[in-house]
Structure 1
């Protein structure tokens, strides 16, 4: 007994035991599409197929059918799709992999991503993350410090700026989120007389191969190089005759990287104390690839900043001085130069900073005597009212 023939909607057809829809997507490759649906050949299945077809046609008409939406509607499609929008988690990994950064910087990015952002954003499509969603995540976090909050938000903002540049998102949802003001810690340099006493103590107490650490810290105090830069310094990058050296690589977490922190190699001019220290280190060098060789002969370079640190700690303790981190040697050099009257532009160039960063970081040490000279101009020149009152009458009327 035959059933009543089912009237098929336009664009819907049987294929085997399933249903198929046909439509045209202008601008797509190919434009003519057919998709087989996991629906039964029943009136309900046909109605569902027809409804899906109407939805697809409407999306095409409105210009809202994207590859991502197509994949959502037809997860088993056989068509090769073009650009697919990644989730935040996927794009964040791509962004991190593309960064040319040293390992400890990479680890810090991974830390803030995994600690703060992945839990609430990882599975959201990168173009669907909203400012409200970010605000909610931010408000749910117990931030350990304003500095960490600012760094985490800056990292997130950097990811979305890249997504906008890659045309995966139309706006940066972090742009409107306040970063908060993290008060930077003021540098804590050694006074120059303490630095000189530390160097002298190292020279007096270290003998044999260990004396290289006396040269190391004299160079640190009088070149301003970062510890990671000093440990990666090679003999061919030092020009004693021309009184300069080239900074172009760093040692980070036991590995040498052919780049520096701010991505730009720099030339550092050498004073007499720096030359003395470097000459002393080179005289002890056994023709190795790096200026400061491991005392125990294991490896080509000193693979940890903690190795020289123990000798600085011992000297500071013997002298009864306040302990400061090794990086204070760099702050000491910067403040000594500024207090000696060197221009901020020159000191910034020596350190590999911008002038703005130098002025912000070392404002307290810049030209304090000149500040009072500027202020004294009010005392010696008189006020505007006094100058007008004392002017000859003919001068006032001319």
Structure 2
């Protein structure tokens, strides 16, 4: 399937589709269930790297170690990931364990330590079972392959119900270029990075600094525009690696194919972000909120995130209740300027509010629309050119059940 910006969805693609990448996953025993809990993405060459990290001031040890690796040279050749244990709030021992993970994997691959990043996801405050990792890392090295994308996706999952992966291809300088990604995330998801891990790979060559600026912008309008439950975690990060093996001239803002590549990159990030929102713990519906007519894009983003994060809005969507009052109330408490007398609201194509006055609508038709597994809320403030989109999910009984017994 070819997008309007010239890229094509690679239906069988994965994080290993871009040239130079391998991946894999194994079960090393961190999780009690027989499911992969240790995975890695490895590049044949030192790859240019960009990253964004959680805004929580409590930062897990692996993120500190990965920041140190990236700061050394701006390149990574491998990302090692475990699930089932966050290695967060684990003191000096946690710092040591994160560094030992990096050193052990670097030795197994035969690369310098600063070419390895590490990250973890799972329960906070529990020491990492390092003996299990020491046994699992050598096995993982033997499982790395160009066919290992699905195994990697399984290895990074915690309460996720589905794997999240996307790959697109496009032509740059007459060469095929691929952009791919994998992610995990289901709970503790809130704008400005949440309990999510994202990994993007590409074989494009890029000019210095362009990958970081591209990732930062894409994150602002995708990963930072999702929410499940309003909690921001200690371990969240998105890492992008570029092998440069596609053979194109280095991409930058002045390259004729820059816009197409940027669109492909953003599409990968947006797809992963929406899949995280769709797979929210206990969720049955994906909610999209489109806000237009705000004074600025920033104001539109703030309002959209407030609406999609409102527990009252989320509960109403779960109950298929066309309660537009909760939507305008959420917009009004977002903390940015808006005219309360000029608001239009639609549920899909069904108008429920016009110029802040109720519109007679077909309640059964609205309920039938809200019964679907995707719900789009449109809000027009009629106050400017600012616009934004945010994504979330409904709030269900199962969300409470899952999080009431997360450790047990």
| TM-score, normalising length: structure 2 | 0.23
| TM-score, normalising length: structure 1 | 0.23
